[in-house]
Amino acid sequence: MTSQQPLPTDDFSIYYVLADCTDHCDTFPVKEADENQPHFQGVTGLRNLGNTCYMNAILQCLCSISPLRDYFLSGKYITALQKNCSEVATAFAYVMTDMWLGDSDCVSPEIFRSALGNLYPAFTKKTQQDAQEFLIYVLNELHESLKKYRQRRSHEKTSIPRCCRKVTANESSIITRLFEGQLSYSILCLKCENRTYKNEVFTILSLPIPSEYECSLQDCLQCFFQQDTLTWNNQIHCSFCETKQETAVRASISKAPKIMIFHLKRFDIWGVMKRKLRTDIHYPLTNLDLTPYICPIFRKHPKYNLCAVVNHFGDLDGGHYTAFCKNSVSQAW
């Protein structure tokens, strides 16, 4: 199923949420703004503070995610705040509150930018920044502000294959509970056929675009999860051969996050030149099925619904970010 909504096809990042985390799976057409309509909760603009479209687009998406919104608006975050690094999370809660509980059509994210800028000064400059990079920093700082420590289990069930064993972190937060997933890499030495496994935690999946003209999100996923052969300078050290060998590597998902974030790799190297791929990518609005890419022992048939898209218009020299978000109250994009 492909998107039939008039959303820009130049999508930079796509966010999906599990069906059981949303109110329902129906899709709704885009509606033009009407000055006579009442102000819907969450339908609030963010002031541009000088080339801050990258920040506003990411904040709009994060503030549209229902479980994250409920966590901050309920005040649950207060009891989890770390005393030595609470500024970013508190400022984020202020933005969330202004957007969802205020009566203004537009609010300023200046306090949040200032809090994050104290840690990363590049975001205080009035220059365009990368939206994906900004998102990574925001999620990391929210995790650091809200993390709690938990005890590791002293034993692990031996019935679970090594390829599917989950990395047990000793820190947990609303960010890890919602956004954190895990990849399992199967690594096969092509000389001795010794197989090893490597697990890796992720919050964003950066997907290649396999066509220059038109493809689907499933095409991007299949390209990411297909087997890859590493040769020449990319060879991996084999513990059995005790030297670097050509290897076959295949990834699978051993833990599917509740909220999946996709980053589409539109910037590519062509010879000695960098370019932007302007491929039209079709993606479903509901029921994105990741079952084919899940480690078999953990297959729970996860299906995701689209809740927000960040778009980048422009090229390597500059551009503009916009966001489309599904509002959980009005059910409109």
Check pLDDT > 70 for residue 13: no
Dist. CA 112–CA 117, nearest whole Å:
8
Query: How far apart (Å, rounded) are the C-alpha atoms in residues 63 and 76?
Result: 16
Residue range 124-141: mean pLDDT, rounded: 92
What is the pairing mode between strands 259-264 and 205-207? Answer: parallel
**Domain presence at residue 5:** no
The single-letter code of the amino acid at 322 is T
Instruction: Report how many domains make up the chain.
Output: 1
Helix (H, G, I), strand (E, B) or coil at 27: coil
List the single range of 142-146, 199-203, 267-271, 291-295 with lowest mean pLDDT.
267-271
Report the distance separating Cα 321 and Cα 65, nearest Å.
19
Cα distance between residue 43 and residue 136, in whole Å: 24
Burial of 312 (0-12, 13-18, 19+ CB in 10 A): buried
120: CATH: 3.90.70.10
**How do residues 141-181 score in pLDDT, each as one tens digit?**
999 999 987 655 444 444 555 555 555 567 899 999 999 99
Residues 6+ away with beta carbon under 8 Å from 332: 28, 29, 30, 31, 326
pLDDT category of residue 319 using cuts at 50, 70 and 90? confident
Tokens of 72: 């901050």
In whole angstroms, give the CA distance from residue 45 to residue 325: 12
Structural domain contains residue 333: no
> Mapping DSSP to helix (H, G, I), strand (E, B) and coil, where does residue 152 land?
coil
> Is residue 169 domain-resident?
yes
Alpha helices (runs of H) in the chain, residue ranges in sequence order: 53-63, 66-73, 77-80, 87-101, 110-117, 131-146, 174-179, 217-225
Q: Is residue 207 part of a domain?
A: yes
* 284 to 70, 127, 288: CA distances (angstroms): 26, 34, 6
Q: Which two tokens stand for residue 210?
A: 């396999």
Residues of the chain with pLDDT > 70, as a percent, come to 79
> What integer pLDDT is reported at residue 22 of this predicted model?
34
CA-to-CA distance for 24 and 325, rounded, in angstroms?
A: 15
190 token code pair: 């092509």
What positions carry a catalytic annotation?
53, 320
pLDDT of residue 97: 95
Q: Which domain holds residue 192?
A: 13-325
Q: Does 4 reside within a domain? A: no
Q: Has residue 62 got a pLDDT over 70?
A: yes
- Whether 237 is in a domain gets the answer yes
Token duo for residue 176: 């890890």
Q: Is-contact 85 138, C-beta < 8 A?
A: no
> Is there a contact between 97 and 21 (Cβ–Cβ < 8 Å)?
no
**Does residue 2 lie in a domain region?**
no
